Structure formats: structure tokens, C-alpha cells
Amino acid sequence: MPPATHRVRVCRLHEFPPGTVRRLNTLPPVAVFNVAGRLYAIDDICSHDYALLSEGHFDGTSLECPVHMSRFDVRNGEPLCLPATEPLRTHRVEVTGDEVAVHIDIGRLL
Ligand code: FES
């Protein structure tokens, strides 16, 4: 059985330049990143403790948590340094013409 997802529109692609992030006030909160023209979506809550990762520093493919400074790879959600040890969930990004949408995995909420 495929995971339960909810499709959420993010923005227009031409309004989402490389090196930027879009935060979705969804449940769960999700952040979408433009890495050199490729788009990635991960949970926006740090896997270590409560922090909105989209408020952290995003550089290249790396995102630094604003609370305890763990870094994550936004392409796969993997932690790159302590104190976080658990990966972030990833979500499928869809681009249709100029529209960007994310299929948020809500399986854990059901
Ligand atoms: S809350 Fe992100 S590293 Fe602790």
C-alpha cells in the first residue's frame, strides 16, 4: 500500500530561485529547498528537538538547525553532525509547468 500523502501547492517555479527555501505551514510543517535548480522537501521540525529548520542557515545542500547547530543534507534528510542522529523525512516534489507542489507524507499522522 503506498504511503498516504496530501498534495500542497508551494509556489510558482519562477518565483523560487536557486539557494532559497519555502516554508509550508502544514501538518507536519515542511520546508522545500531549491538546490541549483533541483527541488527537495523535508520535514521542517528538527529530529533532535523542537526547532523550525527553515529558520536555520541554508548553504548549498546543507541546512543548519538554529537551536543546537546540527546540520542536515536537504537532499535526503540525513544528519551530517551531532547532536541530531535521526534523519528527517523527505517528501516528493512535483513540478508541473510553472507550478511547484509537494506530496506530504502524512502516514505517521493516520
Ligand atoms: S533542535 Fe536541532 S539540533 Fe537540537
**pLDDT tens digits along 80-91:** 999 999 999 999
The DSSP secondary structure of the chain, one letter per residue, reads -PPPEEEEEEEEGGGS-TT-EEEE--SS-EEEEEETTEEEEEESB-SSSS-BGGGSEEETTEEE-TTT--EEETTT--B-STT--SPPPEEEEEEETTEEEEEEE-GGG-
Domain of 41: which CATH number? 2.102.10.10
Q: How confident is the model at residue 110 (pLDDT cuts 50, 70, 90)?
A: very low
Domain containing 84 equals: 5-108
Specify the number of domains making up the chain: 1
**Which residue is closest in CA terms to ligand 1's atom 1?**
49
What would the pLDDT profile of 15-49 be if each residue is shown by its tens digit? 999 999 999 999 899 999 999 999 999 999 999 99
Would the CB of 66 count as within 6 Å of ligand 1?
A: no
Q: Which amino acid makes up residue 106?
A: I
Would the CB of 84 count as within 6 Å of ligand 1?
A: yes
**Which residue is closest in CA terms to ligand 1's atom 4?**
68
